[in-house]
Amino acid sequence: MAKSSKRNSRKRSVGKKLLIACEGEKTEPIYFKAIRQELHLSKDQVIVLSPEGTDPLSIVREVCAEKQYLRRERNWVDQKDSAWAVFDGDEHIENNRDNWNQAIQKALSQNINLAITNPSIEFWYLIHFQDYSAYISRVEAKERLKQHIPNYDKAQCYYQEKLKVRTQDAIDNANKLDNLAKQNKLSEYANPCCSGISQLVEMMLKLGN
């Protein structure tokens, strides 16, 4: 069962909602919750889940289950609200391609948006500070990030202090990488950036405005 806000607190419509299920227990939930707090959005507007399963299929299943619950409670509007699954790319593809393929297909069939961090969330953090288009491993991404955030710790929140003022730079760099991937005719989820995460962050910022 996901670690989320109490379900019995969601009793009424609060306008447009974002439902986000994250692979990580710390880094990704901390990041999205920090943006939510900074924008003064409620936990009912931006619902952040941390499923116990960390594989892509478990993430997608959890967000599907929560979406179905909200729909049963008449607290979800398909044409308005948006559900997202956030997980890493390269490592999961290499370790269990069948799980990966099932996750992608289920997400597509259930209208779940995907924010795939290639190779990890640290690369999304990195492009807040520099434009980077070459292939990079998760270890190298973390090491390069430490040039900008010394003593980087996955359990710490860096949004307000380090990332907030550079968010638009990260979105612009992500869009450049997306265009480059399309020009090179890479498969959609082979984008050497973070497919979808820039769109998700932009959606949160618009919701805050």
Contact 93, 101 (CB under 8 A): no
State phi, psi for 48 to the nearest 5 degrees.
-110, 120
Residue 9: what pLDDT?
A: 46
| 10, pLDDT greater than 50 | no
pLDDT at residue 8 above 80? no
Query: Which pLDDT tens digit goes with each residue over 26-61?
Result: 999 999 999 999 999 999 999 999 998 889 999 999
Q: Percentage of the chain with pLDDT > 70?
A: 90
Write down the pTM of the prediction.
0.90
Domains defined for the chain, CATH in brackets: 16-208 (3.40.50)
Tell me what the pLDDT averaged over the chain comes to: 89
**Kind and range of the H or E run holding 99:** helix 97-109
Q: Please, are residues 56 and 94 in contact by the beta-carbon 8 Å criterion?
A: no
- The stretch 129-152 carries a mean pLDDT of 92
Q: What is the pLDDT of residue 136?
A: 87
Average pLDDT rounded to a whole number, residues 90-95? 84
Q: How many CA atoms lie within 13 A of 174 on its CB side?
A: 26
What are the pLDDT digits (tens) for 141-169?
999 999 999 999 999 999 999 999 999 99
Report in angstroms the alpha-carbon separations of 49 from 2, 30, 108, 126, 139: 6, 11, 19, 24, 26
pLDDT band at 14 (very low <50, low <70, confident <90, very high): low
